[in-house]
Structure 1
Amino acid sequence: MDRRTVLRAAVVGAGGAAFSGALWGEAFGAVAQPGPSPYGDLLAADANGIQLPAGFTSRVIARSGRRVAGYTWHWAPDGGACFADGTGWIYVSNSEIPLTGGASAVRFAADGAITSAYRILSETNLNCAGGATPWGTWLSCEEIALGRVFETWPGGGRAGEERTRMGRFKHEAAACDPVRKVVYLTEDESDGCFYRFIPDTWGDLRTGRLQVLCAPSGQVTGPVTWQDIPDRDGFPIATRKQVGAAKHFDGGEGCWYDHGVCYFTTKGDNRVWGYDTVNSALDLAYDDSLVTGGAAPLTGVDNITGAPTNRDLFVAEDGGNMEINIITPSGVVAPFLRILGQTSSEITGPAFSPDGSRLYFSSQRGTSGSSTGSGGITYEVKGPFRRQ
């Protein structure tokens, strides 16, 4: 019996566990399937080599090694987020470069004009993804063994600070749950875990408890529990190996919280998971091996974000067809955009402007395929994003 058959049987056998208060609502009885995008088909590539639906346009806002608003943009742009800034906004982007990684920011005026760019974190190591906090900071995560989380300030003027109580492991992304007052964390290992950090005081990440999600190894739906990590420093025993009941995931990547569900992705098996925070249960939102009736549109599953004006998810590919795919509340998965001529790159850092009218993302290695030099390209897409 192949993996597709085994997984389909497991999901059906579990009754397609429905989420309570989830993005999917009543529709979340099965994994997302290919269908027509609410934005229509992709058109021919524009001058930037990006295929978009009708009504959408793209522009390049920064290139690695080149000046943007007087600042030299970093190499290997990765995870990102947007933050309100007066009448404008700020887009923050990590740099997945060894030893000097860190993060940078671009500030926009109300009309979308770039007004400044600057460094917000320096001299850190392979900063991959991260997450925004409700109090307006950016958590920049190191994707190395014994990696750290750094809290940074998008507006600049304050040095980033280590948050080592959040655990030392190969960090990927973070997502804040303001209702339960916890931060969820993914781990980019082939046997990585899914964690949550419970701060002693919400809004202060300097102290608190680190816990790991626990469930049987083959479980894809159903209830889960949490256990404390005995030694969050992860040495000499890695955090993922300290709790025998911990569930292991194949390459944790992006992480996004929305209305009672924390969605996270795993690249090793091309899945989008959903953790139902209300019922403390796990389910699958997407799995390429459970796609029926044709080829899976979404592969190389990586970074994930949600639209602030509706309930759509946007999932970026590391490889695949160099696409960002949409997953709608009705359970349809379809390409939203595709980058041509950059097959040796990956799409990173998808994030919406606060008003939901613009989507930012990067091609980490661009047309050169190189993480250093002028390979990275950071884009903005503007258009009639759904509002509902």
Structure 2
Amino acid sequence: MDRRTLLRATVAGAGGLALPFTAWPAAYAGPAQTATGPYGPLLPADANGIQLPAGFTSTVIARSRQTVPGTSYVWHDAPDGGAVIPNGSGWVYVSNAEVSSPAGGGASRIAFDSTGKPIGASRILSGTNNNCAGGSTPWNTWLSCEEVTLGRVFETYPLGGTAVVRPAMGRFKHEAAAADPVRKVIYLTEDETDGRFYRFVPSAWGNLSAGTLQAFVAGTATSGTFRWVTVPDPDGSPTATRHQVSGAKVFNGGEGCHYAGDKVWFTTKGDNRVWQVNLTAGTYELAYDDNLVSAGSAPLTGVDNVTGSTSGDLYVAEDGGSMDICVITPAGSISVFLRLTGHGSSEITGPAFTPAGNRLYFSSQRGTSGSSSGGITYCVTGPFRT
């Protein structure tokens, strides 16, 4: 009997009780369970090949190697991690390029007016390698992370300015970053099968040129308490950062990362998990595990990028799987929000909401062609919960 079948048998033997997420920590510290989504079932695919709930519509914003409509800028290959930066009455969507120099790499931006119309686009980072994910900062910069051995973090300036490398944030196979303005730190994930979870403590908040890199230290269980321990040599050479701190918890393929409300969530693709760290309580637990779905097939596999809405919902994108973006609600339910059809050799990347919360941007990294030159960036609008 496999793990999921055993779990289902255990649940059935207990009378099939499904506890809400808020009750799980007091009971089994269990992860989110499949339920009817807040927006209802998916409709047939629209003209862009996207299945959405009623009331939602999709638009193609940009295509790799084609000019962004309304601008003279040619969109980059393999669009990956992204974020929305407020810009007056409008906003800017930033996107990484997960390709190697000199073929591309780096990051680009598209500026929108208050109606969502593109009004400009340009490159904000060049000459880097495999820029996968990253994260925005409260001072409106974008941290673009290299997913290579001894990768670096580059702070870019979508509203104007020259990108700067931030070596104090460590050199390792960087994935995502999430800023915590309460504790004045940046959380970082590492895309290795034996990766670690880190935080960077700047010497001065708002200035990432100097500071301390620390590793998350905890036991081997999927829940418990934790502490932070300083990484002696953030340069990662000759000893990799993940091997420098005794007791640093191993995470299998760190991916997306999101902070909100004194909690930070991050995903690990090697075991299809979403982790939740309660920063106030000093505890961690699973918010989702595809092997712990108690009824039916797991709705989310190939976990990757993650973002949050103003309602507190988490939106988790798939790398592979059914090419879905799934929503995990604060009540502990998980459901499919959208599905891309005809993109079987791609992955969904860069989900990010506008400040008003009524637009969701994301990309299909390789589109329908399965090639990095076939990337497509979309916008979905509709009655998102706020």
Q: 2:171 aligns with which of 162, 168, 187?
A: 168
Structure 1 match to 2:17? none
Deviation string 1:114-170 (CA, Å, 9 cap, x unpaired) is 1011111111110000001011110000000000000011123x2110011000000
Structure 1 match to 2:321? 320
Structure 1 CA distance, aligned partners of 2:59 and 2:305? Answer: 21
Structure 2 CA distance, aligned partners of 1:85 and 1:199? Answer: 25
Structure 2 match to 1:146? 150
CA contact (8 A) 2:318 2:324 kept: yes
The 3 A distance-change label for structure 1 pair 275 and 134 is same
Q: 2:266 aligns with which of 243, 258, 264?
A: 264
Structure 1 match to 2:367? 366
Structure 1 match to 2:13? none
* 2:72 paired with 1:70: yes
CA contact (8 A) 2:7 2:294 kept: no
Structure 2 match to 1:338? 339
Structure 2 match to 1:79? 81
Aligned length: 368
* 2:100 paired with 1:98: yes
Structure 2 CA distance, aligned partners of 1:7 and 1:236? Answer: 43
Structure 1 match to 2:350? 349
CA contact (8 A) 1:27 1:329 kept: no
The one-letter code matched in structure 2 to 1:75 is D
The one-letter code matched in structure 2 to 1:293 is A
Matches within 5 A, 1:227-246: 227-246=229-248
Structure 1 match to 2:61? 61
Q: Give percent identity, aligned residues only.
A: 62
* 2:112 paired with 1:108: yes
TM-score of the aligned structures, taking structure 1 as reference length: 0.92
Offset, 1:26: 5.5
Structure 2 match to 1:287? 289
The one-letter code matched in structure 2 to 1:247 is K
Structure 2 CA distance, aligned partners of 1:348 and 1:221? Answer: 28
Deviation string 1:157-184 (CA, Å, 9 cap, x unpaired) is x211001100000000000111111100
Structure 2 CA distance, aligned partners of 1:7 and 1:215? Answer: 25
Q: Secondary structure at the match of 1:71?
A: coil
The 3 A distance-change label for structure 1 pair 242 and 332 is same
Structure 1 CA distance, aligned partners of 2:368 and 2:317? Answer: 17
Offset, 1:72: 0.4
* 2:385 paired with 1:386: yes
Matches within 5 A, 1:173-212: 173-212=176-215
User: Any stretches of 5+ residues in structure 1 without a counterpart?
Assistant: 9-23
Structure 1 CA distance, aligned partners of 2:259 and 2:330? Answer: 15
Structure 1 match to 2:305? 303
User: Any stretches of 5+ residues in structure 2 without a counterpart?
Assistant: 9-20
Structure 2 CA distance, aligned partners of 1:56 and 1:298? Answer: 21
Structure 2 match to 1:15? none
Structure 1 CA distance, aligned partners of 2:119 and 2:300? Answer: 35
Structure 1 CA distance, aligned partners of 2:145 and 2:193? Answer: 18
Structure 2 match to 1:16? none
The one-letter code matched in structure 1 to 2:46 is D
CA contact (8 A) 1:27 1:330 kept: no
Structure 2 CA distance, aligned partners of 1:5 and 1:204? Answer: 50
CA contact (8 A) 2:22 2:332 kept: no
Structure 2 CA distance, aligned partners of 1:202 and 1:290? Answer: 39
Offset, 1:215: 1.4
Structure 1 CA distance, aligned partners of 2:188 and 2:301? Answer: 22
Structure 1 CA distance, aligned partners of 2:5 and 2:31? Answer: 14
The 3 A distance-change label for structure 1 pair 214 and 5 is farther
Q: Secondary structure at the match of 2:291?
A: helix
Offset, 1:379: 0.1
Structure 2 CA distance, aligned partners of 1:4 and 1:166? Answer: 38
Q: Secondary structure at the match of 2:235?
A: coil
Moved over 3 A (4+): 1-8, 24-29
Q: 1:127 aligns with which of 131, 141, 152?
A: 131
Offset, 1:216: 2.0
